Chains A and B, each alone.
Chain A
Amino acid sequence: MRKHFGRYFALIALFALAGLILFACGQQQEKSAEATKEAAPVEKAIEPVKLGVAGAHSGDLASYGIPTVRAAELIVKKRNAMSGACGRQIELLVEDDVCKPEVATNTATKLVTDGANVVVGHICSGATKAALGIYKESGIIAMSPSATNPALTQSGDYPNFYRTIASDDAQARLEVDFALDVLKFKKIAVLHDKGDYGKGLAEFAKGFLENDSRAEVVLYEGITPGAVDYSAVVQKIKRSEAEAVIFGGYHPEASKLVQQMRNKAMDTVFISDDGVKDDTFIKVAGEFAEGVYATGPVDTSSNPIAIEAVEMHKKEYGEEPGAFFLNAYAATLALLNAVEKSGSTDYDVLTKTLQSEWVATPLGIIKFDEKGDAIGVGFAMYQVQNGQYVTVEF
């Protein structure tokens, strides 16, 4: 019953949104009719909107880039069958960068010369960074479904960059905020498994904690993955009198750590990442898993747009969509929505629209902050309760 209600509600919301879009378009046309003095608006209206799609479409990392092309193709096909964007047809310009920075600059130059209005891409952080300078000079907005390097948005170097994926440090930020704001801890131990993923997260968490006067990092250690036991590290945590452990790593080490802590009669709170938000963790750690916190991507499995997008993909390509498909779908929708609502492909107008208008996407209803990160996309906190991960609202 609840589920049905949710679906109807979403449907109503969709209709309402569609109404808004039509309304916005109408408004814009009136506006442009008023402003006939401006350079050739009539011709511009017939010209198609050129949507660039850049990323790895061949080579080792093609599996990361192809789903983005498919997402764009699906949306463009659907939109063009209806009315395009504000009566303008949408044209796809697909360019390959094989995820290499040196190729990405050429890809970007090609898209700019071909007259792309907006770009979905690139896929890899390194290639994205290389291409962004070129788009910036030409006043083109780029939106990546997958580039997670924090500096891309946070440095402020690329005001033309947006993304529909949370940055690498988003999980660490959430873990630290949760430990300090909700649980109000003062002494925190940060551990990691020495791997790229775990250590990266732990370093961010440590940095955030050190910049916050409310808590101190009482222990910062890397543990050896696969070691027969962790009793020495567990004793060290105990001696540090930490109230919580923030662990960056995967579930095999996490379950050993939690089990050994509980065996030594320690009730230290355990907070970890989406490497631990896995049912295997609960299965292996058993009763010791109870109460463990872990961050994980916001659940999109009941989002009607996501369900529709996946169905369309299966119908068109006969298989389950690949990596970042929903993020790419969201990016394409967000860009086309901004073009539709503002009726323009002008850089300043689009920037304003992206940052002010909410748009319904497979990832939820989102808009973008000034730096270009999506608000409403990202991670949620989960806790193991009665053998299941349950979202913690705070």
Chain B
Amino acid sequence: MDYFLELFLGGLTRGSIYALIALGYTMVYGIIELINFAHGEIYMIGAFTGLIVISVLTMLGWNSIAIIILAALIAMLYSAAYGFTIEKIAYKPLRGSQRLSALISAIGMSLFLQNYVLLAQTSNFLPYPNLIPTWDFLKPVGHIVRSTEIVIYIAAALVMVALTYLIKFTRMGKAMRAVAQDRDMSMLVGVDVNRVISFTFIIGSSIAALGGVLVASHIGQVNFYVGFIAGIKAFVAAVLGGIGSMPGAVLGSLVLGWTESFFTGYISSDYEDVFAFVFLVLILIFRPAGILGRSDTDKV
């Protein structure tokens, strides 16, 4: 039973990590139907920015809680600027063209950012400090779950709730839904489409950066390539849960995390990825729009 619980919590951690990335992915897709492949790179840039801030503040001798909060905030701001710029440079000029062009542009942006960080920073793995202290009440179960993991669970849940609220109940959310439904029509009724899309990218990128700082702090290392693999897995999770849906992204991430964890634990980790993707195919056969996705019939 202990073993089951440990695997369950391990899967929950993995799932929450995927969720922090998948939420931004799925939101951008939901609004402009673009698979933003550079999203994983924004996550990686967030982690790097956080590391730089942490190094500087640690030298100044700040308190570790203050450091992690400030590092996360600065990383979110910086990555939001990146997300905003990427949209303006790589996606906006292609907005009227085929979806394939924007997709290729996204892949190009992803490769560009990876190599940019590789050249500007380093190709080596860098150690990432774990700044979240071990809480006293967790000490008895310290070998099962750590405080960083709990912070990741909470962050994923909070972000999901906040985004759902933002989209369902705010004015900006209403504009986002309108743009998602019919971009031309919303423009006609006076929605500033450019502003809505920029806002979407800013929010999506800052969530990715928050994930980057927390996850890198949990894993303890970072390099220029971490965003790529995490991004692919998060994309799979978003599709699994129903791309475009916030609770779907979280559910899909958790399902993927648990699938991997239990498969590794009870069968073998050799075919972990194979099994995860077979599971994805099976779900898509029976629910083509994902677990929580709505299958819209195309307007004729």
Among B11, B146, B270, point to the contact of A232 (Cβ < 8 A): B11
Among A236, A284, A285, point to the contact of B265 (Cβ < 8 A): A236
Are the CB atoms of B7 and A235 closer together than 8 Å?
yes
Are the CB atoms of B13 and A231 closer together than 8 Å?
yes
Are the CB atoms of A284 and B260 closer together than 8 Å?
no
Are the CB atoms of B125 and A232 closer together than 8 Å?
no
Complexed CA–CA distance, A223 and B220 (Å)? 18
Complexed CA–CA distance, A265 and B11 (Å)? 19
Closest to B17 in A: A228
Q: Of the listed stretches A74-82, A132-140, A176-184, A256-264, name the one at the interface; the rest are far from the partner chain.
A: A256-264
Write out, one digit per residue, whether chain B residues 9-28 have a CB within 8 A of any chain A CB (1) or not (0): 11101100110000000000
* Chain A residues near B194 (CB-CB < 8 A): none
Are the CB atoms of A229 and B218 closer together than 8 Å?
yes
Tell me, yes or no, whether A227 is within 8 Å of chain B by CB.
yes
| Shortest CB distance A215–B (Å) | 21
Given A228-B215, A239-B3: A284 and B220 within 8 A (CB)? Answer: yes
Write out, one digit per residue, whether chain A residues 268-295 have a CB within 8 A of any chain B CB (1) or not (0): 0000000000001001111000000000
Are the CB atoms of A259 and B7 closer together than 8 Å?
no
Are the CB atoms of B221 and A221 closer together than 8 Å?
no
Tell me, yes or no, whether A224 is within 8 Å of chain B by CB.
yes
Q: Is the contact region of chain A dominated by helix, strand, or loop, or is it mixed?
A: helix
* Chain B residues near A224 (CB-CB < 8 A): 269, 272-273
Write out, one digit per residue, whether chain B residues 27-65 have a CB within 8 A of any chain A CB (1) or not (0): 000000000000000000000000000000000000000
Closest to A233 in B: B269
Closest to B258 in A: A232
* Chain B residues near A255 (CB-CB < 8 A): 125, 220-221
Are the CB atoms of A251 and B125 closer together than 8 Å?
yes
* Chain B residues near A283 (CB-CB < 8 A): 127
Write out, one digit per residue, whether chain A residues 57-88 have a CB within 8 A of any chain B CB (1) or not (0): 00000000000000000000000000000000
Within B79-137, which residues are at the interface with A (CB < 8 Å)?
A: 124-127
Tell me, yes or no, whether B281 is within 8 Å of chain A by CB.
no
Q: Give me 5 A-to-B residue pairs in the complex whose CB atoms sit less than 8 angstroms apart, sorted by A's number.
A: A222-B269, A228-B233, A231-B9, A252-B223, A266-B143
Q: Which 8 A-B pairs have the closest CB atoms?
A: A231-B10, A232-B264, A265-B143, A222-B270, A232-B261, A226-B229, A235-B6, A284-B127
Write the residues of chain A forming the contact surface with B, with a CB cutoff of 8 angstroms: 194, 221-224, 226-229, 231-233, 235-236, 239, 251-252, 255-256, 259, 263-266, 280, 283-286
